[in-house]
Amino acid sequence: MSKTMKQLTTEFGVTRQAIMRKMDKKFRNKYVSMVHSNGVSKLMISDDGYSLLKQYFSSSNRNVSNKDVNYSNEITHDNIKLAMELLEKQLDKKDQQIDKLQQSLNEAHKLLDQQQQLNLSSQKLLENQKSEQNIKNGTTQSRENNSKDDKNNPNINVSEQNKKPSNKTRENFWKRLFR
């Protein structure tokens, strides 16, 4: 039974041009016929021509395809190795970058904690200074009042003037400090 070019290309797994290259004038005259159907002309290859083409393409395909498969496997295997090495190098670089970023983040956290502690201590110092100034202002005013009284009343000792502020003033200091 005759076969068309399309059937041969699918069966042998080659292109139409490859089959046409193997058909010389003698082969065409002996084994190929032209068939017209529905306004389309088709090349029909006889059974003898089919068997000759089959022998040629089956033997050459096996040799060529085995070489190509082995070669492509070697290339693929080498490419996979190279790709794996490249990916491992990239992964190592990424790990190093992540470590550096983690260290800088830890340093930033440490600096932030130090900044917050410094702000807190400076705020406490300012509050202490304000409260001390308030106490000094209160004691200086009371001392000024006492000294005015002393001028008026000579019986008061100097030791009374040097007394510590009263407990009430101290309580106010502590209350203001821990609000």
pLDDT, tens only, 18-29 = 888 888 888 888
Query: b/e per residue, 17-53, with b = 16+ CB within 10 A?
Result: eebeeebeeeeeeebeeeeeeeeeeebbbeeebbebb
Cα–Cα separations (whole angstroms), residue 139 to 20, 49, 129, 176? 119, 127, 15, 17
The whole-number pLDDT of residue 148 equals: 55
Instruction: Examine the pLDDT at 140 and tell me if it is beyond 50.
Output: yes
Query: Are 19 and 8 in contact, with CB atoms under 8 Å apart?
Result: yes
> Which pTM does this prediction carry?
0.34
Q: pLDDT tens digits, residue range 60-82?
A: 655 444 454 455 455 677 788 88
Give the residue-averaged pLDDT of 42-64: 79
The whole-number pLDDT of residue 69 equals: 46
Give the residue-averaged pLDDT of 148-166: 54
Which amino acid type is present at position 137?
N
- pLDDT range class, residue 97, cuts 50, 70, 90: very high
The whole-number pLDDT of residue 88 equals: 94
Cα–Cα separations (whole angstroms), residue 112 to 104, 116, 157? 12, 6, 55
User: Lowest-pLDDT range, 72-86, 110-124, 127-141?
Assistant: 72-86
The whole-number pLDDT of residue 66 equals: 47
User: Residue 47 has what DSSP assignment?
Assistant: H
The whole-number pLDDT of residue 2 equals: 83
The whole-number pLDDT of residue 116 equals: 93
DSSP 55-120: HHHHHHHHHHHHHHHHHHHHHHHHHHHHHHHHHHHHHHHHHHHHHHHHHHHHHHHHHHHHHHHHHH
User: Residue 156 has what DSSP assignment?
Assistant: S
Give the residue-averaged pLDDT of 25-44: 87
The whole-number pLDDT of residue 174 equals: 73
55 φ/ψ angles, rounded to the nearest 5 degrees = -60, -45
The sheet carrying 3-4 orders its strands as: 3-4, 40-45, 32-37
